[in-house]
């Protein structure tokens, strides 16, 4: 049996000045060479746990720690963080805050140089880390000029160069596009499977950890509520949903059809269906309803017979001395639509949408609102019709209280006071922040701040709402809360919604139309089904369709969007086969 490399016994921790326990009696044993995934909603204590393992809690981040923590034979609290750094590497979600060098090479050298190794050893480690993390050719590049995936790979290389036995990765893909995510997961796989490193991976991306993790633990309110092999944990669908974890669509499909063995990949699910290793008893039941998909575009909900509310006509835009960000981008948006704009980082999504409220002005082309050119309209007046919500809530909250934040926009556009107060009252109730009306927005959780940022724009009552990556850094439940709110605004108040997103699960569930961008142009559009049915288009935009779409395409040659749809399809095809056999 492999020796334990991490051993936590009944660990509790409270941050200095806080009565709440961030960790409550956590016990965890990790074997050498194991890959352990930790899931949980925001605020569950996952990051605190990571900091306990590398000793930054409580030596750097103060608080009261009790229980036993032994990592690679050392008690981190006694040894010190810097000394633990050569045993435990910690990688964070935001690569920008963990890159210190002016070049990739310098950044990778930072850790070994701090450890005082001689020049030759440092150069050896740099060469190895750069090679193993597939960063060859980028050695002299400035880290801030790299793509998100390359930046995170550099951050991992910097930790890897210190040759720790354990690597703790705290949501390393939370800020990356699909291509960046794929790169980072592939590196983590190499670290564990090829280089034998022990991995503790904190993640929200459940699909990717299925094949990677040996064991999975689920945290909620500072304690483990589920733990075991991926098969054991993901079989507990109801418990996972209660905690707010998205169940991988393939697993959910397996559970819905009563598969003999829970599938963890598309191949396994295909083989389960083809071999008939599932519960035929579902045949004959009522159609399987999908309660998790409020905006599911089952049929077409076309509004395109009306005049477009917003048009971009052959837009061109170049940042000062930069690349051409838009190269003839054209788009029509119709009233009451829910449009998702997708594409890899740098495709021009944000640049395009920032033209709609005048934040950017094109070098060529036209922007039309209700059929009228608005190229010369100032943002201050356009924002009353086109609301824009930025990606990071902390870059758009300016006031001392939640209530004032909601008044900020309406006051600037000169909204009638009574109407504004009524609107603020309604919105506070609508987004569930009524009890925090006098609280400084910074004291709210990330999910609450994101909802407030969105609501502060909604308060101006714009016809069109543009939301840039509304789910970045949020857990699944928080993401659904934001998207449900947008969908309610669309259905109940007739708003037109445009979101920019990398999350194809969100696209499947909410978007009525998907606009695909690449190289500064709109390269394709259609319903989620239509877009997911075009592999070349997906490839061009570096997109990865949901696993359930892969599965249904393989099995029946048609793209389905949710596990429920796929289970229903299986049921239908099964009863048809039975009828045919009966005749």
Among 21, 42, 48, 81, binds another protein (CB under 8 A): 81
Range list of H helices, 197-332:
206-209, 230-235, 237-243, 249-256, 266-275
Residue 30 · residue 5 · CB < 8 Å: yes
Of 117 and 436, nearer to another protein (C-beta) is 117
Among 17, 116, 137, 582, binds another protein (CB under 8 A): 116
As measured in angstroms, the least distance from the Cβ of 398 to another protein is 5
**Counting contacts by CB under 8 A, is residue 375 touching another protein?**
no
Residue carrying the six token digits 């269906």: 273
b/e per residue 522-549 (b: at least 16 CB within 10 A): bbbbbbbbbbbbbeebbebbbbbbbbbb
**Counting contacts by CB under 8 A, is residue 101 touching another protein?**
yes
**Counting contacts by CB under 8 A, is residue 396 touching another protein?**
yes
* CA distance linking residue 155 with residue 161, whole number of Å: 10
Among 8, 51, 188, 570, binds another protein (CB under 8 A): 51
> What is the pattern of x (binds another protein, CB under 8 A) and - over residues 221-250?
------------------------------
Q: In the β-sheet with 496-500, what is the strand arrangement from edge to edge?
A: 386-389, 464-468, 496-500, 338-342, 513-518, 521-526
**Counting contacts by CB under 8 A, is residue 110 touching another protein?**
yes
Among 229, 304, 373, 379, binds another protein (CB under 8 A): 379
Choices 5-13, 110-118, 331-339, 517-525 (CB under 8 A): range interacting with another protein: 110-118
**Counting contacts by CB under 8 A, is residue 409 touching another protein?**
yes
**Counting contacts by CB under 8 A, is residue 497 touching another protein?**
no
**Counting contacts by CB under 8 A, is residue 357 touching another protein?**
yes
- All residues at 6 or more sequence positions from 371 whose CB lies less than 8 Å from its CB, including other chains: 307, 308, 311
**Counting contacts by CB under 8 A, is residue 78 touching another protein?**
no
**Counting contacts by CB under 8 A, is residue 274 touching another protein?**
no
**Counting contacts by CB under 8 A, is residue 56 touching another protein?**
yes
User: How many chain residues interact with another protein (CB under 8 A)?
Assistant: 70
* CA distance linking residue 241 with residue 292, whole number of Å: 10
**Counting contacts by CB under 8 A, is residue 460 touching another protein?**
yes
**Counting contacts by CB under 8 A, is residue 165 touching another protein?**
no
**Counting contacts by CB under 8 A, is residue 322 touching another protein?**
no
Task: Write out 76-113 in H/E/C secondary structure.
Answer: HHHHCHHHHCCCEEEECCCHHHHCCCCCHHHHHHHHHH
Task: Pull the structure tokens for residue 388.
Answer: 């824009």
Task: Pull the structure tokens for residue 191.
Answer: 């670290």
* CA distance linking residue 536 with residue 16, whole number of Å: 53
**Counting contacts by CB under 8 A, is residue 380 touching another protein?**
yes
Range list of H helices, 136-226:
148-160, 178-189, 206-209
**Counting contacts by CB under 8 A, is residue 90 touching another protein?**
yes
**Counting contacts by CB under 8 A, is residue 384 touching another protein?**
yes
b/e per residue 72-103 (b: at least 16 CB within 10 A): bebebeebebeebbbbbbbbbbbbeebbebee
**Counting contacts by CB under 8 A, is residue 317 touching another protein?**
no
Of 120 and 285, nearer to another protein (C-beta) is 120
394: number of Cβ within 10 Å: 12
Choices 32-40, 258-266, 274-282, 380-388 (CB under 8 A): range interacting with another protein: 380-388
* CA distance linking residue 269 with residue 495, whole number of Å: 39
Of 193 and 442, nearer to another protein (C-beta) is 442
Q: State the Cα torsion 345-350-352-355 to the nearest 10°.
A: -160
Site for another protein in 57-76 (CB under 8 A): 60-61
- List residues bridging with 496 in a β-sheet: 464
> What is the pattern of x (binds another protein, CB under 8 A) and - over residues 118-147?
xx--xx----------------xxx-x---
Choices 79-87, 243-251, 543-551, 568-576 (CB under 8 A): range interacting with another protein: 79-87
Q: In the β-sheet with 372-373, what is the strand arrangement from edge to edge?
A: 324-333, 310-318, 364-369, 372-373
**Counting contacts by CB under 8 A, is residue 96 touching another protein?**
yes
The binding site for another protein (CB under 8 A) comprises: 51, 54, 56, 60-61, 81-83, 85-86, 89-90, 92, 94, 96-98, 100-103, 105-106, 109-119, 122-123, 140-142, 144, 158-159, 162, 321, 354, 357, 359, 378-380, 383-384, 387-388, 390, 392, 394-398, 408-409, 411-413, 442, 456-457, 460
């Amino acid at each position: 049996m492999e020796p334990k490399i991490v051993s936590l016994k009944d660990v509790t921790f409270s941050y200095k000045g806080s009565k709440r326990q961030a960790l409550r009696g956590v016990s965890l044993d990790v074997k050498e060479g194991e890959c352990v995934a930790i899931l949980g909603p925001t605020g569950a204590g996952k990051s605190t746990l990571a900091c306990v393992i590398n000793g930054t809690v409580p030596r750097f981040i103060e608080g009261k720690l009790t229980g036993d923590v032994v990592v690679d034979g050392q008690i981190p609290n006694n040894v010190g963080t810097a000394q633990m750094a050569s045993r435990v590497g910690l990688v964070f979600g935001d690569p920008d805050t963990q890159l210190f060098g002016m070049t990739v090479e310098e950044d990778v050298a930072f850790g070994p140089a701090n450890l005082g190794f001689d020049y030759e050893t440092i150069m050896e480690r740099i060469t190895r880390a750069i090679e193993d993390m597939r960063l060859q050719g980028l050695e002299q590049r400035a880290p801030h000029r790299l793509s998100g995936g390359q930046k995170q790979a550099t951050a991992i290389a910097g930790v890897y160069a210190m040759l720790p036995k354990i690597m703790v990765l705290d949501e390393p893909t939370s800020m990356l596009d699909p291509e960046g995510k794929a790169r980072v997961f592939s590196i983590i796989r190499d670290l564990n499977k090829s280089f034998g490193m022990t991995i503790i991976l904190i993640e929200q991306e459940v699909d990717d950890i299925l094949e990677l993790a040996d064991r999975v633990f689920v945290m909620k309110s500072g304690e483990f509520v589920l733990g075991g092999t991926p098969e054991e944990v993901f079989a507990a669908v109801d418990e996972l949903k209660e905690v707010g974890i998205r169940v991988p669509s393939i697993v959910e499909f397996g559970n819905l059809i009563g598969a003999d063995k829970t599938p963890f990949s598309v191949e396994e699910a295909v083989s389960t269906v083809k071999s008939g290793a599932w519960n035929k008893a579902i045949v004959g039941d009522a159609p399987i309803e999908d309660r998790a998909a409020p905006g599911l575009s089952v049929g077409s909900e076309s509004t395109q017979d009306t005049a477009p509310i917003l048009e971009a006509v052959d837009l061109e835009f170049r940042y000062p001395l930069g690349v051409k960000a838009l190269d003839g981008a054209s788009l029509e948006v119709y009233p009451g639509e829910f449009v998702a704009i997708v594409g890899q980082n740098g495709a021009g999504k944000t640049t395009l949408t920032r033209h709609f409220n005048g934040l950017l002005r094109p070098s060529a082309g036209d922007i039309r609102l209700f059929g009228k050119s608005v190229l010369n309209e100032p943002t201050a007046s356009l924002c009353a019709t086109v609301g824009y919500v930025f990606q990071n809530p902390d870059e758009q909250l300016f006031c001392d209280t939640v209530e004032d934040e909601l008044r900020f926009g309406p006051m600037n556009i000169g909204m009638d006071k009574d109407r504004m107060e009524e609107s603020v009252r309604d919105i506070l109730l609508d987004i569930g922040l009524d009890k925090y009306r006098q609280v400084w927005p910074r004291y709210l959780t990330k999910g609450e701040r994101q909802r407030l940022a969105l609501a502060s724009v909604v308060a101006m009552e714009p016809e069109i709402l543009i939301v840039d990556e509304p789910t970045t850094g949020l857990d699944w439940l928080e993401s659904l809360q934001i998207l449900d709110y947008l969908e309610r605004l669309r259905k109940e108040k007739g708003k037109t919604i445009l979101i920019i997103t990398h999350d194809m699960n969100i696209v499947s569930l909410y978007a009525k139309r998907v606009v695909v961008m690449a190289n500064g142009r709109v390269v394709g559009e259609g319903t989620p089904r239509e877009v997911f049915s075009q592999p070349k288009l997906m490839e061009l935009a570096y997109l990865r369709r949901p696993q359930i779409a892969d599965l249904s395409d393989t099995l029946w040659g048609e793209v389905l969007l949710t596990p429920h749809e796929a289970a229903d399809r299986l049921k239908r095809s099964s009863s048809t086969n039975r009828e045919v056999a009966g005749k």
